[in-house]
């Protein structure tokens, strides 16, 4: 039996409006290798399971469904690692959530070929089009020019530590590397899990492997602010932002503070999100002053204070601070 070249991991829940488009984008892929799509339905209460079954019946060699009887996410189960990955047989892994979709029929083949030709490449990503819930184009990420090439850790981190410009539907990795990620990055993954994000630690880990290939071509669309997305769930959840700061502190420690300046830049960004979430000056200064300010330098504290009292001025100083640290 021919080896599975790529296992596509797709998590979905109550996405009947979008899942058909995602599944169509999978089965349209043109490859010279077999690939499989493992779709985990997390006990949806709408028509999502029926749509998945329709495609599994039509494409039994490609669509491999997993139907949960009880919602696993609400139990704290990491869907990708505990429900999808154990069933993957491919040499490589790719991702796409049930409300996103691919737009290029040669996406898998292109990323597969790049990984095959570059043994020192551990992660392949590409340009992604952000769209609204209704499918209208919003912006392209990365929103600034990034040269198509094989990047090292420093180049990659300068992009993701402030902007986090690469989206899950573009990820493509070796399964052996992902296996190491699961066993090596446990404490940091768990910390980010408490924030409700699973893709961020993956990018941090694979960035450390020092071989990231960027394809300057739009090959997928990411649906922003759809029901259940992290950005919608956490618009005013300052506890999650604090948790994210603590997760970055763990990563900083894990790397022996080699990327400390970049870690502090990202932590500062989430400190600003705490301020934007709370807004009440008195509450910030009385209840959150110690927790919010204790980890930052004097200049970083001044930026946070400006965001509290003079937000426009805070944005200007924050931008200057980013430029001084080599960020855009």
DSSP assignment of 142-183, as one string? SSS---SEEE-HHHHHHHHTTT----GGG-EEEHHHHHHHHH
Residues 242/268, Cβ–Cβ less than 8 Å? no
Q: Is residue 1 domain-resident? A: no
Residue 235: the pLDDT is 52
Instruction: Assign 296 a pLDDT band (cuts: 50, 70, 90).
Output: very high
Q: What is the mean pLDDT of residues 225-229?
A: 53
Number of domains the chain is built from: 2
Tell me which of 231, 259, 274 is where a domain ends: 231
Tell me which of 186, 214, 231 is where a domain ends: 231
Residues 266 and 224 in one domain: no
Residues 164 and 263 in one domain: no
Q: What is the mean pLDDT of residues 288-297?
A: 92
Q: Is residue 276 domain-resident? A: yes
Residue 231: the pLDDT is 46
Residue 1: the pLDDT is 60
Residue 109, Cβ neighbours under 10 Å: how many? 18
Q: Is residue 79 domain-resident? A: yes
Q: Which two tokens stand for residue 105?
A: 């029929």
Residue 280: the pLDDT is 87
Residues 219 and 240 in one domain: no
Which three-class secondary structure state does DSSP give residue 12? strand
Q: What is the mean pLDDT of residues 13-41?
A: 97
Indicate if the pLDDT at residue 228 is higher than 50: no
Q: Is residue 253 domain-resident? A: yes
Residue 328: the pLDDT is 64
Measuring CA to CA, which residue among 120, 128, 223, 142 is closest to residue 171?
128
Q: What is the mean pLDDT of residues 232-248?
A: 80
Which residues on neighbouring strands pair with residue 159, listed in sequence order? none
Residue 162: the pLDDT is 80
Full-model pTM: 0.91
pLDDT tens figures, 126-152: 999 999 988 899 999 998 899 999 999
Q: Is residue 46 domain-resident? A: yes
C-alpha distances (whole Å) from 275 to each of 153, 159, 192, 194 are 31, 24, 20, 20
Residues 178 and 35 in one domain: yes
Q: Which two tokens stand for residue 53?
A: 């079954």
Tell me which of 231, 258, 276 is where a domain ends: 231
Average pLDDT, the chain: 92
Instruction: Assign 164 a pLDDT band (cuts: 50, 70, 90).
Output: confident
Residues 215 and 254 in one domain: no
Which residues on neighbouring strands pair with residue 173, listed in sequence order? 93, 123
Least trusted range by pLDDT, from 143-152, 154-163, 228-237, 273-282: 228-237
Q: What is the mean pLDDT of residues 244-270?
A: 95
Residues 49 and 100 in one domain: yes
CB-neighbour burial class of residue 325 (10 A; exposed 0-12, middle 13-18, buried 19+): middle
Residues 136 and 161 in one domain: yes
Range of the domain at 217: 6-231
Residues 47 and 172 in one domain: yes
Q: What is the mean pLDDT of residues 70-98?
A: 95
Residues 318 and 216 in one domain: no
Q: Is residue 150 domain-resident? A: yes
Q: What is the mean pLDDT of residues 246-273?
A: 95
Residues 24 and 168 in one domain: yes
Instruction: Assign 279 a pLDDT band (cuts: 50, 70, 90).
Output: confident
Q: Is residue 91 domain-resident? A: yes
At 199, which CATH number? 3.90.550.10
HSE on the CB side for 129, CA within 13 Å?
15
Residues 245 and 96 in one domain: no
Q: Is residue 152 domain-resident? A: yes
Residue 232: the pLDDT is 46
Residues 249 and 186 in one domain: no
């Amino acid at each position: 039996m021919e080896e599975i070249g790529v296992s596509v991991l797709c998590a979905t829940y109550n996405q009947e409006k979008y899942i058909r488009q995602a599944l169509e984008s999978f089965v349209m892929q043109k490859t010279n290798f077999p690939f499989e799509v493992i779709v985990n339905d997390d006990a949806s209460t709408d028509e999502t399971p029926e749509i998945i079954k329709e495609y599994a019946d039509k494409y039994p060699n490609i669509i491999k469904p997993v139907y949960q009887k009880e919602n696993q996410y609400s139990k704290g189960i990491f869907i990708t690692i505990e429900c999808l990955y154990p069933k993957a047989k491919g040499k490589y892994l790719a991702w796409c959530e049930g409300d996103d979709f691919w737009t290029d029929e040669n996406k898998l083949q292109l990323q597969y070929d790049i990984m095959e030709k570059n043994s020192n490449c551990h992660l392949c990503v590409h340009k992604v089009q952000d769209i609204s819930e209704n499918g209208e184009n919003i912006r392209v990420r990365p929103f600034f020019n990034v040269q198509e090439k094989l990047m090292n850790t420093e180049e990659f981190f300068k992009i993701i530590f402030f902007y986090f410009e690469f989206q899950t539907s573009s990820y493509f990795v070796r399964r052996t590397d992902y296996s190491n990620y699961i066993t090596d990055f446990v404490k940091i993954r768990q910390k980010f899990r408490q924030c409700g994000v699973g893709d961020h630690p993956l990018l941090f880990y694979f960035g450390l492997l020092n071989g990231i290939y960027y394809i300057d071509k739009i090959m997928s669309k990411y649906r922003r602010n759809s029901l259940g997305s992290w950005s919608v769930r956490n618009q005013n959840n300052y506890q999650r932002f604090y948790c994210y700061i603590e997760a970055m502190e763990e990563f900083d420690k894990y790397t022996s503070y080699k990327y400390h300046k970049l870690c502090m830049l990202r932590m500062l960004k989430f400190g600003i999100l705490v301020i934007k979430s709370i807004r009440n000056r008195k509450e910030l200064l009385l209840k959150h002053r110690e927790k919010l300010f204790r980890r930052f330098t004097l200049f970083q504290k001044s930026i946070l204070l400006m965001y509290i009292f003079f937000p426009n001025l805070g944005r200007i100083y924050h931008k200057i601070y980013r430029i001084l640290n080599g960020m855009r």
